[in-house]
Chain A
Amino acid sequence: MQLQDKYRIAVLSAYALALHGIETLVPTPIPWMRLGLANIVTLVALVLYGFRTAMTVTLIRVILASLFTGTFLGPSFVLSFGGGVTSTAAMGLTFLVFRDMFGPVGLSLVGAFFHNAAQLTLAYFLFIQRIEAMFVIGPVILLIGTLTGVANGAVSGLLIKNLLKKEGAKIQNDNEDAEPAQ
């Protein structure tokens, strides 16, 4: 791993952690509902820097956030870890297999779906074990997840576009700088 990659992962993880922290302060109509803002960073990392960066950032975020809030290895950590890893893996796989078919919004939807599916499965096997409750709550979570997923995907899309534009401008500037020397 190059130094630049490490730097990039550190910065992205910091952003993800900050968003993760902020969203616990945002009031939501349902107590356990989360907006999944940290997924924006995962998505940007995936599209711009690849799957390994995205997964590393997710792992760092989930583990550090749980250490900060004191829930490391607790039930909510298990849910958070399972959801984060599954959704990042699903988004990475989708991005690899259907390269240009899905934009950021589609990837975010895939991520949101697998995040919720993983959390529901884990919650069923570890805590609740009432299949009726899962059937009742599952579609509701899926609906909320789809809506927040679209919002996150839209933000990620704009972010990726602007970052690429900036990077493009930088490359152009580099070329302009290089031209007089030739």
Chain B
Amino acid sequence: MKAVIRNTTVADRLLFIFLIAASVAGIFISREAMPKGSDVIIEIGGKTAYTFALDTDRTFSVPGPLGVTIVEIKGRKVRVKEAHCHNRLCEKQGWVARGAIVCLPNRVVISVGGKADNTPKGIDAITG
């Protein structure tokens, strides 16, 4: 290992650091630039109960076994404002712009999904 490190020049190391930084930055930038979901889908007990547009701000309550869960949509983000479960993990998750908030005790799943079909066209895989 030492021999390997001694074998590199300054330019080698700079290039390595640059490439690593560029790719890591690229991963984060591309994640940010991903097309965001446009719909909020709320499932209760595994069935889709409501679908709301992410564009319009609103607050509403979702019934569940442990009482109502108050969900708030604001500025293209969703959060659980109030829940009546024990540890309230869904509340702690805060604002979410993509992905999902799951409240297991209440059996409520709030997911942000795109309207556009997510099925990629063309070739799935190429084997060699």
Contacts and interface: CB of A to CB of B under 8 A. Distances in A.
Interface of A: 24, 31-32, 69, 71, 74-77, 80, 98, 100-106, 109-110, 113, 127-130, 132-133, 135-136, 138-140, 142-143, 146, 149-150, 153-154, 157-158, 161
A103 B34 contact: no
Contact of A140 (B12, B27, B122, B128): B27
Nearest to A137: B30
15 contacts: A76-B126, A76-B128, A80-B128, A106-B11, A138-B30, A139-B29, A140-B27, A142-B19, A142-B26, A143-B20, A146-B20, A149-B19, A150-B16, A153-B12, A158-B7
Given A69-B128, A158-B4, 14 more contacts: A103-B8, A105-B8, A106-B16, A109-B15, A109-B16, A127-B122, A135-B33, A136-B30, A136-B34, A139-B29, A142-B26, A143-B24, A146-B19, A161-B7
A98 B15 CA distance: 13
A135 B27 contact: no
A149 to B, nearest CB: 8
A136 B33 CA distance: 9
Given A103-B9, A105-B8, A133 B16 contact: no
Contact of B7 (A105, A127, A133): A105
Interface residues of B, number: 31
Contacts of B8: 103, 105-106, 157
Contacts of A154: 4, 7
A62 to B, nearest CB: 12
- A contact face: mostly helix, strand, loop, or mixed: helix
Most B CB within 10 A of own CB, among A24, A105, A140, A153: A105
Interface in B108-128: 120-123, 125-128
Most A CB within 10 A of own CB, among B15, B20, B123: B15
B16 to A, nearest CB: 6
Nearest to B10: A101
A128 B59 CA distance: 41
A138 B1 CA distance: 29
B15 A102 contact: yes
B7 A103 contact: yes
A110 B15 contact: yes
Interface in B1-57: 3-4, 7-9, 11-12, 15-16, 19-20, 22-27, 29-31, 33-35
B30 A139 contact: yes
B24 to A, nearest CB: 7
Contact of A102 (B12, B20, B25, B30): B12
Contacts of B9: 100-103, 106
B12 A105 contact: yes
Contacts of B12: 102-103, 105-106, 109, 153
Contact of A146 (B23, B33, B34, B122): B23
